[in-house]
């Protein structure tokens, strides 16, 4: 902290010596970090409770299906409808599970993702019917995935009962790559309409920043309520929220685009591939070990005697869900690191420190983001650095002013401070 203060006064002194008092006042304006309001603290606790409720359901549903034997019975009944065709039985049981989970979590999802955002003004023009329709549409990719993919681990269990978990993890790689490719072009447009970017000013701003990173044409689409980069390889594109031009000033938009360009230039979405593979490896191995133990001890109760029986699906889901919960804090810490670095890259590329800090402060003011989420939220569901942290980095990170090296100078031709004050 003292180091930052020294840098501040040193830079301010140099600017004053050069007679640039007015420029210095602009450059070194510090945007104050808003205090955590009682409303935010209450909302924090409420969201923690919703999260706990939804995770409890994710664990209890497969556990209940296993322990009651109803999972096995449902699986047998579905198998009977398709003359015990193995491929169809697995796909249908997986689809039935997805529908059952969605129906059971509907009251909680309605409270968390419709009532609460409506009461806070985050959602405006969506009727309950439209929201329910989006939930139903959101089931489609899950059902398609269940029908097309679930047979893979079960086929491997039959062929290689001792090593199937290893081969299944290897098979996760092409599936994950396909998902990353399909997400922006087939999956996201299912629930949200997207159009090509038509705003000429925005296009020019993007092209200007992208050209510094050697990019000739960056695919950009507009729609929905979040700004992010989706896709990999041929389908990677920047998604801009539909109200971006209304909600952000031109200099804030420059920072936002520069932040997204970091995800684009550094191929951040590819980083999901090794994570998915490691998770699959651990999850399938855990299922293999737990399955071996459970089928010996609780065969009568759970209703199956071998893991390659499609009725074991709730066990597979339970093991992978439990593992995912255990690694969530580490995964989110990595996610926040990626986002922190995107802010750093965005500042190096745009020099829009003041605009960025004001943008983050405005989110806190509007109540659309938290100044400082509690430790539980940070550990289990907070994907970005807090507003307090983001304002601080926007206020303090400007090595180009002191002639210090930039972290991403090898990725793009970063402007010198003389070009953009
Ligand atoms: Zn980001």
**C-alpha 418 to ligand 1 mean position (Å):** 27
Q: Is residue 23 part of a domain?
A: no
| H, E, C per residue of 365-403 | HHCCCCCCCCHHHHHHCCCCCCHHHHHHHHHHCCHHHCC
Q: Is residue 250 part of a domain?
A: no
Predicted pLDDT at 49: 96
Residue 141 near residue 94, CB atoms below 8 Å:
no
> Where does the pLDDT of residue 25 fall: very low under 50, low under 70, confident under 90, or very high at 90 and above?
very low
Q: Is residue 58 part of a domain?
A: yes
Averaged confidence pLDDT in the chain: 90
pLDDT at 17 over 60: no
Q: Average pLDDT, stretch 120-148?
A: 89
**C-alpha 210 to ligand 1 mean position (Å):** 16
Predicted pLDDT at 28: 59
Predicted pLDDT at 55: 97
Number of domains in the chain: 1
Residue 257 near residue 206, CB atoms below 8 Å:
yes
**C-alpha 342 to ligand 1 mean position (Å):** 6
- pLDDT: is 120 or 376 the higher one? 376
**C-alpha 257 to ligand 1 mean position (Å):** 10
Taking only the tens place, the pLDDT of each residue in 359-401 is: 999 999 888 888 999 999 999 999 999 999 999 999 999 999 9
Extract the runs of DSSP E, i.e. beta strands, from 39-107: none
**C-alpha 14 to ligand 1 mean position (Å):** 34
Q: Is residue 151 part of a domain?
A: yes
**C-alpha 166 to ligand 1 mean position (Å):** 33
Q: Is residue 106 part of a domain?
A: yes
Taking only the tens place, the pLDDT of each residue in 58-107 is: 999 999 999 999 999 999 999 999 999 999 999 999 999 999 999 999 99
The CA-based angle 264-265-266, given to 5 degrees, is: 95
Q: Is residue 215 part of a domain?
A: no
Return the structure tokens found at 420: 């953009």
Q: Is residue 42 part of a domain?
A: yes
> Where does the pLDDT of residue 409 fall: very low under 50, low under 70, confident under 90, or very high at 90 and above?
very high
Taking only the tens place, the pLDDT of each residue in 268-287 is: 999 999 999 999 999 999 99
pLDDT at 215 over 80: yes
Q: Average pLDDT, stretch 28-53?
A: 90
Residue 276 near residue 41, CB atoms below 8 Å:
no
Structural domain that includes position 126:
38-193+268-402
**C-alpha 193 to ligand 1 mean position (Å):** 21
pLDDT at 421 over 60: no
Q: Is residue 356 part of a domain?
A: yes
**C-alpha 339 to ligand 1 mean position (Å):** 5
Q: Average pLDDT, stretch 167-179?
A: 95
- pLDDT: is 377 or 123 the higher one? 377
């Amino acid at each position: 902290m003292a180091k930052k203060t020294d840098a501040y006064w040193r830079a301010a002194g140099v600017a004053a010596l050069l007679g640039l008092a007015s420029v210095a006042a602009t450059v070194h304006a510090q945007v104050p970090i808003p205090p955590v309001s009682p409303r935010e603290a209450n909302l924090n606790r409420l969201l923690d409770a919703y999260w706990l409720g939804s995770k409890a359901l994710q664990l209890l549903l497969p556990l209940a299906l296993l322990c009651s034997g109803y999972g096995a019975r449902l699986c047998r009944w579905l198998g009977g409808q398709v003359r015990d065709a193995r491929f169809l039985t697995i796909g249908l049981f997986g689809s039935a599970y997805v529908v059952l989970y969605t129906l059971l979590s509907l009251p909680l999802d309605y409270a968390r993702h419709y009532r609460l955002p409506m009461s806070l003004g985050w959602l405006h023009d969506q009727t309950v019917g439209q929201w329910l329709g989006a939930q139903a549409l959101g089931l489609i990719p899950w059902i398609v995935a269940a029908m097309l993919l679930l047979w893979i681990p079960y086929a491997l269990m039959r062929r290689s009962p001792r090593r199937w978990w290893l081969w299944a993890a290897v098979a996760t790689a092409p599936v994950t790559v396909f998902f990353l490719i399909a997400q922006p072009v087939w999956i996201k447009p299912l629930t949200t309409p997207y159009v090509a970017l038509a705003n000429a000013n925005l296009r020019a701003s993007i092209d200007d920043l992208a050209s510094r990173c050697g990019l000739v044409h960056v695919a950009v689409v507009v729609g929905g309520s979040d700004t992010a980069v989706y896709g990999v390889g041929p389908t990677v594109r920047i998604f801009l929220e539909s109200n971006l031009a209304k909600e952000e000033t031109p200099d804030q938009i420059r920072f936002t685009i520069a932040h997204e360009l970091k995800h684009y230039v550094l191929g951040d979405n590819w980083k999901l591939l090794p994570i998915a593979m490691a998770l699959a490896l651990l999850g399938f191995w855990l299922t293999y070990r737990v399955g071996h133990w459970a089928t010996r001890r609780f065969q009568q109760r759970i209703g199956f005697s071998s893991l390659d029986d499609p009725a074991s699906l709730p066990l597979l889901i339970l093991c992978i869900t439990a593992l995912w919960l255990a690694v969530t804090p580490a995964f989110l810490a990595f996610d926040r690191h990626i986002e922190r670095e995107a802010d750093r890259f965005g500042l190096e590329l745009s020099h829009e420190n003041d605009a960025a800090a004001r943008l983050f402060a405005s989110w806190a003011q509007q109540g659309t983001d938290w100044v400082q989420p509690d430790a539980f939220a940070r550990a289990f569901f907070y994907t970005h650095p807090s507003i307090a942290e983001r304002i601080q980095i926007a206020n303090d990170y400007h090595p180009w002013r002191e002639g210090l090296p930039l972290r991403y100078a090898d990725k793009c031709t970063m402007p010198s401070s003389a070009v953009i004050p």
